Structure 1
Amino acid sequence: MQVNVMERTTFYLKYGKRLLDLIVASILLPIISILILVISFLLLVFSGRPIFFKQYRSGVHFEEFKIWKFRTMKCHQLGKEEKDWQEGVPDDFIFKGALDSRITTIGKLLRKWSLDELPQIINVLKGEMSLVGPRPEVPDITSFYNADQSRRLYLKPGITGLAQINGRSDISHGQKVEYDIDYVENCSFVLDIKILIRTIRVVFNGEGAY
């Protein structure tokens, strides 16, 4: 029988994880603030306005919040694709790919090193996200989650996570969900530190970034 993470009342889940988020985010904030100013200027010069991309995502227990990212795509909207998913999101579903023509030149560079995610440090400080956790998905996708897939929303979404150090955008939705549920069921201080350290290597190598 699988253990619901909400039934695990460990000190780390109750207090330590949030404390780690606040300590690390506060230490990184001065450095990240400088990078945000530099990137904002470059985007304004080479890509124009708007600089930021804002979108609602599903957080813990499907609670929606507004995520902030640097805009990496051209400013045009595509119509929503009608989905007929009766038994949850298909395992072979892939949300984005490397050949998306909407991605700008500077956007490709930002995505390669995950610099477009930097503004989410504000989401972490506000308590809407964590440094480590399942990546926040759009409600248009999570609304189709089955009971098993919904388990990835038992913890706050993260800037990085187990799926991000094991393929990022190269893996299917089914693989991502497996990694996220594995993380939710085994979340610990040691695991979070390991993921944060491995994230540095993955980002510098540009693995699976689109």
Structure 2
Amino acid sequence: MYKLFFKRFFDLFFSLIICLVLTPIFLFIYIVVKLDSKGNFFFFQERLGKNGKLFKVFKIRTMTDKPRETTQEIFKGNAEVTKVGAVLRRLKIDELPQFINILKGDMSFVGPRPCLPSLQEKFDENALKRMLVRPGLTGLAQTNGNIYLTWEERWKYDRYYVENISFLLDVQIFIKTIQIVFKGEESFLKKPNV
């Protein structure tokens, strides 16, 4: 019942409230980002959603508008991240516009992070399983190593999540995400067996 109805209800209810509450904060962040570097405030990127449907994910731009060679630069921190962008990333504030994606139904609060379409060619059985649910703002892989994990490790966490979705698991992931925001990912690098 949770997976079929209540999960989406909670997503809608809380994302609407959060979007309303965050509006003044977004205005402040907008000013700071624009003063720090030129370029758009929002960054849009095409991602794979539930059942492989493409959608545009919303983020606050954290890098210069200089073109990058590969997406790997972004994950490894080699891209030209702005000073303000580094703070926004550290506190995960750059992800906040994704509450709009949650409100639209493209995403959920908790679920596997949405992948770039270019990664589809690398998908194994675990990665395909993750496509059965809406991607999330945070997920099991993000609370258990995130960028320090290989794609295959991330996809194992994603599969575990898809096969074990529950209100309790979502709450545990959400609480750990909040802890990571305040303490940093390095504090949570021990990987439990999945």
* TM-score normalised to structure 1 length: 0.82
* Residue 48 (1) aligns with residue 38 (2): yes
Look up the match of 1:13.
3
* Residue 96 (1) aligns with residue 75 (2): yes
What amino acid sits opposite 2:86 in the alignment? Answer: K
Per the alignment, do residues 131 and 32 of structure 1 end up closer, same or farther by CA in structure 2, a change over 3 Å counting?
Answer: same
Out of 66, 77, 85, the residue aligned to residue 107 of structure 1 is 85
What CA RMSD, in Å, does the superposition of the two structures yield over aligned residues? 1.9
* Residue 183 (1) aligns with residue 173 (2): no
Q: 1:32, 1:137 → 2: CA distance?
A: 26
Q: 2:95, 2:80 → 1: CA distance?
A: 18
Task: Give the deviation of 1:94 after TM superposition.
Answer: 9.5
SS in 1 for 2:125: coil
Look up the match of 1:133.
111
SS in 2 for 1:69: strand
What amino acid sits opposite 1:198 in the alignment? Answer: K
Alignment of 1:139-150 (within 5 A): 139-150=117-128
Q: 2:105, 2:98 → 1: CA distance?
A: 11
Task: Give the deviation of 1:79 after TM superposition.
Answer: 4.1
Out of 146, 153, 160, the residue aligned to residue 131 of structure 2 is 153
Alignment of 1:50-129 (within 5 A): 50-79=40-69, 96-98=75-77, 100-129=78-107
Matched-pair contact (CA < 8 Å) for 1:53–1:68: yes
SS in 2 for 1:148: helix
Q: 1:97, 1:120 → 2: CA distance?
A: 22
Look up the match of 2:20.
30
Where in structure 1 are there 5+ consecutive unaligned residues?
1-10, 82-92
Per the alignment, do residues 94 and 51 of structure 1 end up closer, same or farther by CA in structure 2, a change over 3 Å counting?
Answer: closer
Q: 1:201, 1:134 → 2: CA distance?
A: 19
Task: Give the deviation of 1:95 after TM superposition.
Answer: 6.8
Task: Give the deviation of 1:177 after TM superposition.
Answer: 0.8
- How many residue pairs get aligned? The number is 186
* TM-score normalised to structure 2 length: 0.89
Matched-pair contact (CA < 8 Å) for 1:94–1:173: no
* Residue 166 (1) aligns with residue 156 (2): no
Look up the match of 1:8.
none
1:106-133: per-residue Cα shift (whole Å, max 9, x none)?
1111110100001000000000000000
Look up the match of 2:180.
202
SS in 2 for 1:164: coil
Q: 1:128, 1:110 → 2: CA distance?
A: 23
Q: 2:119, 2:74 → 1: CA distance?
A: 9
Per the alignment, do residues 116 and 195 of structure 1 end up closer, same or farther by CA in structure 2, a change over 3 Å counting?
Answer: same
Where in structure 2 are there 5+ consecutive unaligned residues?
187-194
What amino acid sits opposite 2:52 in the alignment? Answer: F
> More helix by proportion, 1 or 2?
2
Q: 2:183, 2:62 → 1: CA distance?
A: 19
- Shift >4 Å, 4+ stretches: none
Matched-pair contact (CA < 8 Å) for 2:145–2:185: yes
Task: Give the deviation of 1:59 after TM superposition.
Answer: 0.4
Relative contact order, CA 8 A, sep 6+: which one is greater?
1
